[in-house]
Amino acid sequence: MSQSSKTGNKVNVPEAKGAMNKFKYEVANEIGVPLKDGYNGDLTSAQNGYVGGYMVKNIYPERNKEFLRNLRSCDGHAYAVTYSYCVAI
């Protein structure tokens, strides 16, 4: 199997696997997804996606930041600058 066709989530820090699993169940409970230990084939992909998306949202809450920049050519005027970033783990 080629490297690009492998799928699956890997935890980069093996010691964090238990904490991430606990966090997954806490998030599922918080948003009302009936995630249970073991087989969850009865859940829709949307439900599972909500859990993963909400986890990322909580881990990295600030993905966009807006600043006001002063115009150098005109005192007293400013414009908004938005920085967007992505954190890869």
Cβ neighbours of residue 29 under 8 Å, at least 6 residues apart?
Answer: 35
CA distances from 72 to 14, 26, 77, 81 (A): 50, 49, 9, 14
Query: Would you place residue 8 in the very low, low, confident or very high pLDDT band (cuts 50, 70, 90)?
Result: low
Query: Would you place residue 6 in the very low, low, confident or very high pLDDT band (cuts 50, 70, 90)?
Result: low
This prediction's pTM = 0.55
- Parallel/antiparallel/unpaired status of strands 78-84 and 64-70: antiparallel
| Selected residue with higher pLDDT from 61 and 10 | 10
Strand partners, 80: 68
| Per-residue pLDDT at 47 | 92
Domain boundaries, the chain: 8-59
pLDDT tens, residue by residue, 28-68: 999 999 999 889 899 999 998 999 888 888 777 666 667 77
